Structure 1
Amino acid sequence: MPISRRALAATAVAALVLPLSACGSGSDDGGSSDASGKVEGNITFQTWNLRANFKSYFEGVIADFEKQYPGTHVKWVDQPAEGYPDKISADAAGGTLPDVVNVSPDLVAPLAKAGFALDLDKSAAKYKKEYLAGAWASHQIPGMSGTYAFPWYLNTGPLFYNKSLFKEAGLDPEQPPKTYDELFTDALELAKKSDGKVATLANVPTVEDFGRYGVELMNKEGTGFAFNDAKGVELLTKYKELYDAKALDPQALTATPESSGKKFLTGAVAMNPGSALDLGNFKKQAPNLYKNIGITDQITSTGHVNMYVMGLMVNAQTKKKPAAIAFAHYVTDAEHQMSFAKKVAIFPSTAGSLDDPYFTKEDGTDETRVRIAAAKSLKTAVNYTPVLFSDQMKTALRNEVAKALQGKESPQDALDNAVKACDTLLQQQG
């Protein structure tokens, strides 16, 4: 699902896929649809493949909520992970959409367009200041006004690099590249000094890379993509130079997070995104790499790293808006996000939470090193992936990027074709 299908290879991936939905079963007990009314009545809280690992946590949150709001009852339903987006679509079409739905931005977009997602800027604006600005903005839809989900948990990943490979190439191992310009310069040097045996990167550029490079990804109206502009072409042209010089791994066109990780493990690649779990693997499987591991931020020319974000959407048609809004806010408030972050490797989206010692104080462990690095970068992170950018669009972009790298098309033609394909898919979304 959203986080696992993105190339972050984040920690505890299985636990990160937590969509929430709550059946519109509140409709059977009547009540006001006014969001400012009394918090009472029955709502259903549906999670996605969470009961096995977090049963006691969610039961505790629900019990505390019901105690704080007498007269409420939250029914918790847990669904298997497979087919979750299809289930949401079917529930919306059938009038059984849950009261509170855990969504990623790309899942909330069609629901908001169809009138199923409550605009929190109108119904829950008083809570906006509690969240990081970038997180609150992540569930806004181009071409629409409003915000359509409470931000819940965030994730990002630092970039690992092999200090010994940098040193062998005559580069300063304590000064890894921070911008794309620095990255391209260092990558060409690494390839040259190693006679093409060491690539710096193992993955082709994704839409997030274009965003981090400063490319305008979409027009403001949300009616068309724009990553085929001069800056987008510049980025792809640079990647073509890397590919030709073997500074980009020759197998990058078909790489997966797993295959990229293996390349990094064996010293064939100098930099790779990862997580705290990877450090443990390095320690066991590649002790020499572990001794020489460097941790730095994602490469960016904007000063903002990419964030992956989940949210809780309130069904605009629920009969129990006050209870649904109150519960969605309760689950995502600072206290509950903080307690959840200590159970699974995610980060709170609430303002100030990332200043907690848990995210700032070193204790000598690898897990904490990575957590601190990621938390620091998340304070100003941006969700670069356009909310309207579907998996089909990602595939279309990847296919065209591959053609450009192989020299079958020019970077300009490849991106023109990718934008055309993505715009066609966008129109099909309605």
Structure 2
Amino acid sequence: MSRTNRRVYAGVAAGAALTLALTGCGVGGDGGADSGGSGTDGKIAGKITFQTWNLKGGYEKYFDGLIDAFEKKHPGTTVKWVDQPAEGYQDKLSADAAGGNLPDVVDMGPEAAYTLAGAGMLLNVAEDDPEAEEGYLPTAWDAMTFDGIDGGTYGYPWYLNTGPSFFNTDLFEKCGLDPEKLPETYDELFDQAAVMSENCGDEGISMIGRMPTIETFGMYGAELMNGDGTEFTFNDAKGVELVERYQALYEDSGLTEESLNALQTGELDSFKSGQLGWLPGSSYTLSDLKKTAPDVAKTVEMGPLIANTAPNMYLESLVVNSESENTATAKAFARFATDPKNQLAFAKEASVFPSTAGTLDDPYFTEDDGTDEGRLRTEAAAQVGEAVVWWPPAFSGGPDVENLREQIAGALLGKKTAKEALDDAVDYSNDRLAKQ
């Protein structure tokens, strides 16, 4: 699923996922977590509204089948499916919540859920449906558990996404690097980026296409927050070291001026134009490259996501409106949509990964079919077992993201030291957090 901000999922432009072809739905209600089981109190009946984020235009058949199966399983229920466009989605969520118009079941990530949970708008499923936890991967469940609020869990984990690194091997050869020795750690990445810059920088070629994000700090080894999730701490020694590596690269022309402002879409465009050596990707980056940049796709070799610690992954969940007039049906539907059978079906349709316990053991994720796509899928699925949702839910996708980028850009331009830049970024984010 393509998203704005971080939901672009590591390099896919908005809308790319909607080009995926739909085949059979495969939805049903008899797998894994028992929707409407002992963790769902009250009568499952009546009407609810289910809202997704930029999923119409490609997945109608899947969701129509999902809803039909739920309504057959629970006679007397009606699920109205609505979908909102990617642009301005989080602002709309906030406006709907403030106006008392939040749908019963809503698709959102940890960041948006954190804000609404702090305002008391989301159901604490750990408290209200405690048996649900055992049905999901611990890392996914933990990503929806907010220590900075009350330690509650505010959503049923839905789909995950992660992916490998993509390397332009033609550029490696052209710029004096060995395409058989692709970087796997940040030390290796920065060392090879320096070589690429020295040999090809005057042609506008670089290894890295944009500034570090909050996830980068986590993968590099910085401590992003204190233990109880009440303060940001990514201005520690490892965080400063990361920014200093970027400073050194920029001074040696290993980062272009454009990269100081580039977002994920700009990074993707640079890779597609053959000017970038490394692209952190997702599970559907390869198909996008083959379709929109076939000449570059022929040069691509995949490798692990660059990380000194655990690789990053992204998560979407289904949350339940705490003020729903039909909580029992809302919970039942959220459990149903995120049960193992339905998560597996959706993962196959959308090139994502399920968050339910044990589902990644399905042969679809473990057996390489000999295609590039099969290799990508199996390697990325294996990576999910090690991955972490590094984005702290309390870190705003708007103000905090922009401020961090501006502070790091200031350090690269020599306006402040790396430590001063991160101190300012942390102070800003902590001030915002304290006011929430």
Q: Which interval holds the TM-score relative to the shorter structure?
A: 0.7 to 0.9
Q: Whole-Å Cα distance in 1 between the matches of residues 266 and 55 of structure 2?
A: 28
CA deviations on 1:388-412 (whole Å, 9 max, x unpaired) are: 1111110000001001111111101
> Retained in 2: the 8 A contact 1:338–1:348?
yes
> Retained in 2: the 8 A contact 1:12–1:345?
no
CA deviations on 1:324-345 (whole Å, 9 max, x unpaired) are: 1111010011111111122222
**Corresponding residue for residue 343 of structure 1:** 349
Alpha-carbon spacing, 1:195–1:248, altered in 2? closer, same or farther (3 Å): closer
How far is 1:15 from its partner?
Answer: 5.1
**Corresponding residue for residue 270 of structure 1:** 277
How far is 1:276 from its partner?
Answer: 6.1
Match status 1:124 vs 2:126 = no
Q: Give 2:58's match in structure 1, choosing from 53, 63, 66.
A: 53
Q: Whole-Å Cα distance in 1 between the matches of residues 239 and 292 of structure 2?
A: 38
> Retained in 2: the 8 A contact 1:10–1:156?
no
> Retained in 2: the 8 A contact 1:134–1:380?
no
**Corresponding residue for residue 28 of structure 1:** none
Q: Give 1:322's match in structure 2, choosing from 322, 325, 328.
A: 328
**Corresponding residue for residue 249 of structure 2:** 242
- After alignment, is 418-427 or 84-93 more displaced? 84-93
- After alignment, is 385-394 or 178-187 more displaced? 178-187
Q: Whole-Å Cα distance in 2 between the matches of residues 12 and 54 of structure 1?
A: 15
> Retained in 1: the 8 A contact 2:16–2:288?
no
**Corresponding residue for residue 191 of structure 1:** 197
**AA in 2 matched with 1:346:** V
Q: Whole-Å Cα distance in 1 between the matches of residues 214 and 86 of structure 2?
A: 25
The answer for unaligned runs of 5 or more in structure 1 is 17-33
SS in 1 for 2:57: helix
Q: Whole-Å Cα distance in 1 between the matches of residues 331 and 293 of structure 2?
A: 48
> Retained in 1: the 8 A contact 2:147–2:228?
yes
**AA in 2 matched with 1:423:** N
Alpha-carbon spacing, 1:318–1:265, altered in 2? closer, same or farther (3 Å): closer
Q: Give 1:230's match in structure 2, choosing from 237, 240, 249.
A: 237
SS in 2 for 1:96: coil
Q: Whole-Å Cα distance in 1 between the matches of residues 285 and 84 of structure 2?
A: 29
> Retained in 1: the 8 A contact 2:2–2:13?
no
How far is 1:164 from its partner?
Answer: 3.5
Alpha-carbon spacing, 1:331–1:263, altered in 2? closer, same or farther (3 Å): same
SS in 1 for 2:217: helix
SS in 2 for 1:255: coil
How far is 1:427 from its partner?
Answer: 2.9
Match status 1:312 vs 2:318 = yes
> Retained in 2: the 8 A contact 1:2–1:104?
no
**Corresponding residue for residue 66 of structure 1:** 71
- After alignment, is 46-55 or 389-398 more displaced? 46-55
How far is 1:151 from its partner?
Answer: 0.6
**Corresponding residue for residue 353 of structure 1:** 359
**AA in 2 matched with 1:326:** A
Within-5 A mapping of 1:96-135? 96-135=101-140
Q: TM-score, normalised by structure 1?
A: 0.87
Q: Whole-Å Cα distance in 2 between the matches of residues 42 and 283 of structure 1?
A: 43
Match status 1:5 vs 2:11 = no
> Retained in 2: the 8 A contact 1:11–1:276?
no
**Corresponding residue for residue 208 of structure 1:** 215
- After alignment, is 253-262 or 332-341 more displaced? 253-262
How far is 1:301 from its partner?
Answer: 0.8
Match status 1:136 vs 2:153 = no
Alpha-carbon spacing, 1:347–1:266, altered in 2? closer, same or farther (3 Å): same
Alpha-carbon spacing, 1:105–1:195, altered in 2? closer, same or farther (3 Å): closer
- After alignment, is 131-140 or 267-276 more displaced? 267-276
> Retained in 1: the 8 A contact 2:226–2:233?
yes
Alpha-carbon spacing, 1:102–1:420, altered in 2? closer, same or farther (3 Å): same
Match status 1:43 vs 2:48 = yes
> Retained in 1: the 8 A contact 2:157–2:317?
yes
Alpha-carbon spacing, 1:405–1:254, altered in 2? closer, same or farther (3 Å): same
Alpha-carbon spacing, 1:271–1:366, altered in 2? closer, same or farther (3 Å): same
- After alignment, is 160-169 or 59-68 more displaced? 160-169
- After alignment, is 384-393 or 68-77 more displaced? 68-77
Q: Whole-Å Cα distance in 1 between the matches of residues 199 and 179 of structure 2?
A: 15
Q: CA RMSD in A?
A: 2.6
The answer for unaligned runs of 5 or more in structure 2 is 19-38
Q: Whole-Å Cα distance in 2 between the matches of residues 150 and 75 of structure 1?
A: 19
Q: Whole-Å Cα distance in 2 between the matches of residues 175 and 250 of structure 1?
A: 28
Identity value in percent:
46
How far is 1:2 from its partner?
Answer: 8.2
SS in 2 for 1:402: helix
Q: Whole-Å Cα distance in 2 between the matches of residues 338 and 284 of structure 1?
A: 25
**Corresponding residue for residue 162 of structure 2:** 156
Alpha-carbon spacing, 1:404–1:55, altered in 2? closer, same or farther (3 Å): same
How far is 1:96 from its partner?
Answer: 3.1
The number of aligned residues is 411
**Corresponding residue for residue 31 of structure 1:** none
Q: Whole-Å Cα distance in 2 between the matches of residues 265 and 83 of structure 1?
A: 27
How far is 1:249 from its partner?
Answer: 3.4
